[in-house]
A and B are shown apart, each in its own frame.
Chain A
Amino acid sequence: MRWWWPRGLRPRLLVAFVLVTVLGAAAAAWSSAGTASTALVDSAQRRLSDALVSQIGAVTPRLTYPPDQDALDRLRSAAGPNTVVTYRDLRAEAGVEPASDALRAAVRSQNGLVTERVTVGSTPWLVIGTPVLRTAPDGTRTPSGIEVYSAHDLTEVEQQIDGLATNAAATAAVALPLAILLALLAARSVLRPVRELRDTARRLTDGDLDARAPPQGADELAQLTVSINEMAESVQTSMTAMQRMQTDARRFAADVSHELRTPLSTLTAVMEVLETAAGGMEPDARESAQLAITETHRLVRLVEDLMEVSRFDAGTAQLRIDQVDVAAAVADCLRARGWTEQVELAPAKGIVLGLDRRRLDVILANLVGNALRHGAPPVRVRIFLSGTQVLVAVTDHGPGLPKEVLPHVFDRFYKADAARTRTPGSGLGLAIALENARLHGGTLTAENVDGGARFVLRLPREGQ
């Protein structure tokens, strides 16, 4: 589209209608005014010529040849004002006589009536030149050598023609608002369904799958509306089916983990009894008991993580906000797990945020635990402010994350190395950490830096 072409459908229709109307009116006015003015001029010319011829005809029979000045004067006065009558060197004239030499030459050479239009000053004139013919008694007509040039003011005719043009312009001026009105009506009738379609599409985009546009009429727009409704219907059907499947799957995961808790409760309770009794067992029985205890702990951890993930999926995870000193929370997290010696903490003191203490601890324990397990010392935790965010960066000095793993570190049950499936974690740790960060309105990202992997937790500062 060029710069002058409006972008909206309504102004475009409007401009098109106005252009069509103006051009049409101009063409019609121009053509009719042209025809009418030609007809007007022609009729005026014919009328004036006929009058002059009859006036001359009334006088000529009584003329004597060759005529004298007196005869010419009579002829002139018969022909009316603004007339010149010439015969050789004789000349009778009155008023204006704007006849050109070309006209005189044409009258002489054609030996008949010739007209021309000239404008003198601002006045349009019709000049009629005619030779006076002598009629012999036998009826033959010969030129008498007398020439009559009569000028007639055409101002009136011109005014009539101007009136026609004014009328045409006035008609166009009346037609223009009508055209604009029609354009607006047409635009509205076209745009209403378009607008409804747009609104429907927006509502669908916003997730309101019940949105439909009412089809009106049987034109192409109505067909489009029907098609869009059908599309929405089919999207809704498949979305509903998918949502049901997803809900079922999530509920199943939640139910399974819940059901697993009861037997795990028993196992957890008796494992301690078994542990205290293991000292007196045969070596293989003791090892078996140890394995059972370890695996029970792992199972408990897995089920707890599954329950946590289920809560995120079901949207029931809730924040319990306390005013938390971030540096103190990190220190607490490290101390509670005996990591204080292994981790360098570079805290910014006095950053207090409204946070869920437990969830922050879950995130920190995951990041630091991973760094200690998969990276190499020194593991460094840095807390600092950046604009509207509080950043907690956990960096290790291990080999870093393999390139192909990086996009998947937060995926559930993603194992970097298919052979190394038996890691101490549940495979849900980072996924849960990410969900916890998001619940706070923050983010969690992973990247490789010089000689190690770095995880950065970003928490918003507002709501302190």
Chain B
Amino acid sequence: MVAILLIEDDPLVRRGLELALSRHGHDVRTAETGEAGLAEFRSAAPELVVLDLMLPGIDGFEVCRRIRGAGDVPVIMLTARGDDFDVVGGLAAGADDYVVKPAQPTVLDARIRAVLRRTHGGSDGVRAHGELKIDTAALTVSLRGETVSLTPTELRLLLTLSRGPGRVFSRQQLLEEVWEHDYLGDSRLVDNCVQRLRAKIEADLANPLYVQTVRGFGYRFGPV
């Protein structure tokens, strides 16, 4: 059972998703607007947020940014149009994943579980890469002794990449391993998550040390 906060303005869609997700065994709380959603987020402390993009008042992008600023709770975007603009905006705002409406509850449930599963994995131990320390048992990351706060997706991406320093992962491989998407997942998920991860651990974003781009192939960790 996962404590989910569903922020969706259309009452029928909200109720339908609430019914379906409850049926999948989740504890669903709902909110009608972005403001109400943020208030609910603070009071109920959900494990995951399912967020509609088109909301009256402050929209889904802004809600996502504020949730990101408040902590590491994963966010799955519900995008009504599925147009590129929405997807890009949602990912840039920090969403961990997105589902295009009309979303099948089974798919949504699978994504929810995948996002939450990202905190589990890798062999136990503390790995040090330069000034970066990754504790694969406690699932904490510290840079120069200071703890870095990562979302489950960012953490899982870092764990996957750092498993083999110097090894190149294609976006497709990362999609399959980190997001557990089928082979048609959106490679922009990877790019956006890499950017967010770099913003948290890299000193120089123009010359990243830990997560490096291999042009035309994908990404690799280090070697440091």
Q: Is B19 an interface residue (CB 8 A)?
A: yes
Contact of B101 among A261, A320, A357 (CB under 8 A): A261
On whether the beta carbons of B184 and A265 are closer than 8 Å, the reply is: no
Q: Is A316 an interface residue (CB 8 A)?
A: yes
Contact of A269 among B81, B82, B105 (CB under 8 A): B105
On whether the beta carbons of B19 and A263 are closer than 8 Å, the reply is: no
For B188, list chain A residues within 8 Å (CB): 320
CB distance from A79 to the nearest CB of B (A): 116
Which interface residue of A266, A267, A361 has the most chain B CB atoms within 10 A?
A266
For A276, list chain B residues within 8 Å (CB): 23
Give the complex CA separation of A418 and B201 in angstroms: 62
Give the complex CA separation of A323 and B101 in angstroms: 28
Q: Mark B70-106, 1 if CB is under 8 A from A, else 0.
A: 0000000000111110000000000000000111111
Q: Is B20 an interface residue (CB 8 A)?
A: yes
Which interface residue of A268, A269, A311, A357 has the most chain B CB atoms within 10 A?
A269
In the complex, identify which listed stretch (B9-17, B56-64, B112-120) lies at the interface while the others stay far away.
B9-17
Contact of A264 among B23, B102, B106, B184 (CB under 8 A): B102
For A68, list chain B residues within 8 Å (CB): none
Give the complex CA separation of A262 and B183 in angstroms: 27
On whether the beta carbons of A262 and B187 are closer than 8 Å, the reply is: no
For A336, list chain B residues within 8 Å (CB): 182-184
Q: A320-B188, A358-B184 given as contacts; is B82 within 8 A of A272 (CB)?
A: no
For B216, list chain A residues within 8 Å (CB): 323
On whether the beta carbons of A322 and B102 are closer than 8 Å, the reply is: no
Q: Is A171 an interface residue (CB 8 A)?
A: no
Interface size on A, residues (CB 8 A): 28
On whether the beta carbons of B80 and A272 are closer than 8 Å, the reply is: no
Q: Which residue of B lies closest to A257 (CB)?
A: B81
Q: A261-B102, A272-B20, A273-B20 given as contacts; is B83 within 8 A of A266 (CB)?
A: no
Q: Is A185 an interface residue (CB 8 A)?
A: no
For A307, list chain B residues within 8 Å (CB): 81-82
Q: Which residue of A lies closest to B171 (CB)?
A: A322
Residues of chain B in range 139-194 having any CB-CB distance to chain A below 8 Å: 171-172, 182-184, 186-188
Q: Is A318 an interface residue (CB 8 A)?
A: yes
On whether the beta carbons of B19 and A273 are closer than 8 Å, the reply is: yes
On whether the beta carbons of B80 and A269 are closer than 8 Å, the reply is: no
On whether the beta carbons of B10 and A272 are closer than 8 Å, the reply is: no
On whether the beta carbons of B81 and A332 are closer than 8 Å, the reply is: no
On whether the beta carbons of B102 and A300 are closer than 8 Å, the reply is: yes
Q: Is A270 an interface residue (CB 8 A)?
A: yes
Q: Is A258 an interface residue (CB 8 A)?
A: yes
Give the complex CA separation of A89 and B147 in angstroms: 155
Q: A322-B172, A332-B183 given as contacts; is B83 within 8 A of A268 (CB)?
A: no
Residues of chain B in range 200-224 having any CB-CB distance to chain A below 8 Å: 216-217
Q: Which residue of B lies closest to A357 (CB)?
A: B184
On whether the beta carbons of A322 and B187 are closer than 8 Å, the reply is: yes
CB distance from A289 to the nearest CB of B (A): 15
On whether the beta carbons of A268 and B171 are closer than 8 Å, the reply is: no
On whether the beta carbons of B184 and A269 are closer than 8 Å, the reply is: no
Q: A320-B188, A323-B216 given as contacts; is B183 within 8 A of A269 (CB)?
A: no
On whether the beta carbons of B13 and A269 are closer than 8 Å, the reply is: yes
Q: Mark A311-338, 1 if CB is under 8 A from B, else 0.
A: 1000010101011000000001000100
Give the complex CA separation of A22 and B76 in angstroms: 90
For B19, list chain A residues within 8 Å (CB): 269-270, 273
For B187, list chain A residues within 8 Å (CB): 320, 322
Give the complex CA separation of A232 and B64 in angstroms: 52
CB distance from A272 to the nearest CB of B (A): 5
Give the complex CA separation of A288 and B109 in angstroms: 26
Give the complex CA separation of A323 and B187 in angstroms: 12
On whether the beta carbons of A269 and B10 are closer than 8 Å, the reply is: no
Give the complex CA separation of A276 and B13 in angstroms: 19
For B12, list chain A residues within 8 Å (CB): 262-263, 266
Give the complex CA separation of A361 and B186 in angstroms: 13
On whether the beta carbons of A261 and B105 are closer than 8 Å, the reply is: no
Give the complex CA separation of A258 and B53 in angstroms: 14
Contact of A266 among B13, B81, B84, B183 (CB under 8 A): B13
Contact of A272 among B13, B106, B184 (CB under 8 A): B106
Q: Which residue of B lies closest to A323 (CB)?
A: B216
Give the complex CA separation of A75 and B65 in angstroms: 140
Give the complex CA separation of A311 and B81 in angstroms: 11
Give the complex CA separation of A300 and B13 in angstroms: 15
Give the complex CA separation of A361 and B183 in angstroms: 10
On whether the beta carbons of A265 and B16 are closer than 8 Å, the reply is: yes
On whether the beta carbons of A316 and B83 are closer than 8 Å, the reply is: yes
On whether the beta carbons of B171 and A269 are closer than 8 Å, the reply is: no
On whether the beta carbons of A265 and B101 are closer than 8 Å, the reply is: yes
For A332, list chain B residues within 8 Å (CB): 183
On whether the beta carbons of B172 and A268 are closer than 8 Å, the reply is: no
Give the complex CA separation of A336 and B184 in angstroms: 10
Contact of A265 among B102, B182, B183 (CB under 8 A): B102
Give the complex CA separation of A358 and B216 in angstroms: 18
For A273, list chain B residues within 8 Å (CB): 19-20, 23, 105
Query: Residues of A with Cβ closer than 8 Å to B?
Result: 258, 261-270, 272-273, 276, 300, 303, 307, 311, 316, 318, 320, 322-323, 332, 336, 357-358, 361
Query: Residues of B with Cβ closer than 8 Å to A?
Result: 10, 12-13, 15-17, 19-20, 23, 80-84, 101-106, 171-172, 182-184, 186-188, 216-217
Of the A-B pairs whose beta carbons lie under 8 Å apart in the complex, a sample of 29, sorted by A's number, is A261-B80, A261-B81, A262-B10, A262-B12, A262-B80, A263-B12, A265-B80, A265-B101, A265-B102, A265-B103, A267-B16, A268-B102, A268-B103, A269-B13, A269-B20, A269-B103, A270-B16, A272-B104, A272-B105, A273-B19, A273-B20, A303-B102, A307-B81, A316-B83, A316-B84, A318-B84, A332-B183, A336-B182, A357-B183
Instruction: Given A261-B101, A269-B17, A336-B183, output 12 extra A-B contacts at Cβ < 8 Å.
Output: A258-B81, A261-B81, A262-B12, A265-B17, A265-B103, A268-B103, A272-B104, A272-B105, A273-B20, A311-B83, A332-B183, A336-B184
Closest 9 CB pairs of A and B: A269-B16, A268-B102, A266-B16, A265-B102, A264-B102, A269-B20, A266-B12, A265-B13, A270-B16
